[in-house]
Amino acid sequence: MPAQAFPEGFAWGTATAAHQVDGGTWNNDWWAWEHDPSSPCVEPSGDAIDHWHRWPDDLRLLADLGFGSYRFSLEWSRIEPEEGEFSTAALDHYRAMCERCRALGMSPVATFHHFTSPRWVASAGGWADPVTAERFARFCSRAAGHLADVLGAACTINEPNVVAFYGYRGGVFPPGERSSERRHQANHVFIEGHRRAVDAIRSAAPGVPIGLTLSMTDYQAVDGGEARVEKMREPMEDVFLHATEGDDFLGVQVYTRMLVGPDGPVAYPRGARTTLMGYEFWPQALEACLRRAWDVTGGLPLLVTENGIGTANDAERIEYVEAALGGVHACLADGLDVRGYTYWSAFDNFEWAFGYRPTFGLVAVDRVTQVRTPKPSAHWLGQIAARNRL
């Protein structure tokens, strides 16, 4: 492979998730959470960036910039607003998106669960209740059947480790619980949900590659923190990595590193650069996590399904992505099967409990006029995508 070239067929994409961009997703647990005065959310999602209506122009913009894939999520609460009641109109919406992606030369990558669950699922027990795994698989089967011939790839569950941790242990995501036991229960139900979803999507949409997307962190032991790293990483990453056997790929999502001493996470070094999320600017994390995912899974094909930076300084975004891509390239040179790179996010959007302040987008959005303005990084990365080389 020549110095800065990527392998033929390497997929260059951008990503979004329904609740963060669509607007008006009021029938899910996150909307309820944003409006709960006891939650830490700083503002509600509201109209978001009205992607639900503006998707045709948004897709054209991304294709014109040079990208070859688009990862978005199916909003379960729109497709199955009450238990067993499926909306053909909502399914048709996603079908039209997939078809348009293809017509524009972008592979549609659909995530079946990206953080949000219908209100009826949450009130009937949520992700700590084993029945949710069955309900999720039924939804997957229905949705995959409707999209079978147009899907490019399927991601079952986005970052189940994050939802289990922040929702059941950290109190930051719905349902806002703070119990280690419930977190472990949720891990278990998510793993079961993933396994069932793989089977459901495989039989409803044969031939569509399927994987889990996992949030990974470059855990670095300091001052003898090795045992602690192992202890933290087991329930956060390893249980999920071990649940990917038989999948077609693993979606790797990485943003930063964490320094861990014998008693747990320690402060970043004095003067460390941080992002709008408060964590460290550490693009090297992607390479480290790809290598670890490859080792732990025994060589499952990898797809970077998210990597990016929340910053108000677009030059810093380019610096971050360039360094991260250097790491991907080094992995490829060592023979790791990395199939693509997806930048998070296509557009500035609703960053969950943080609201709209952290801007991850390649494209800026004026949320009063809904006017989209590509940043220099959008053109820069789009050109890399189009040329397939750094």
Nearer to ligand BGC, 211 or 225 (CB): 211
**Residues in contact with ligand BGC by the rule CB under 6 A:** 17, 20, 158-159, 162, 215, 253, 306, 344, 351, 360
- For residue 21, the minimal CB distance to ligand BGC (Å) is 10
Q: How far is the CB of 7 from ligand BGC (least distance, A)?
A: 26
In the complex, the smallest distance separating the C-beta of residue 111 from ligand BGC, rounded to whole angstroms, is 9
Q: How far is the CB of 271 from ligand BGC (least distance, A)?
A: 24
Both tokens of 45, joined, read 């999602």
- Return the number of the residue (31 or 360) whose C-beta is nearest ligand BGC: 360
- In angstroms, what is the minimal distance from the CB of 250 to ligand BGC? 15
Q: Least distance in Å: CB of 309 to ligand BGC?
A: 9
CB 255 to ligand BGC: min, Å? 6
Residue number, 77 or 158, with CB nearest to ligand BGC: 158
Q: Which two tokens stand for residue 112?
A: 């079946």
In the complex with ligand BGC, the residue whose CB is nearer, 48 or 204, is 48
Distance CA 127, CA 133 (A): 8
Measured from the CB atom, the residue of 104 and 122 that comes closer to ligand BGC is 122
For residue 16, how many C-alpha atoms fall within 13 Å in the half-sphere facing its CB? 28
Least CB distance to ligand BGC at residue 345 (A): 6
> Which lies closer to ligand BGC via its Cβ, residue 17 or residue 59?
17
Query: Each residue of 287-317: b (16+ CB within 10 Å) or e?
Result: bbbbbbbbebbeebbbbbbbbbbbbeebeeb
Cα–Cα nearest to 307, from 359, 348, 255, 350? 255
Task: Select 17 or 41, whichever has its Cβ closest to ligand BGC.
Answer: 17
Minimal distance, residue 89 CB to ligand BGC, in Å: 25
Of the pair 141, 349, the CB lying nearest ligand BGC is at 349
Spatial contact of 276 and 359, defined as CB atoms under 8 Å apart: yes
Contacts of 254 (CB under 8 A, 6+ apart): 215, 216, 217, 218, 285, 286, 289, 290, 304, 306, 307
CB atoms within 10 A of CB 248: 18
Q: How far is the CB of 240 from ligand BGC (least distance, A)?
A: 14
Record the tokens describing residue 247, joined without a space: 């999948």
Q: Which C-beta is closer to ligand BGC: that of 159 or that of 237?
A: 159
Q: Which is nearer to ligand BGC, 30 or 120 (CB)?
A: 30
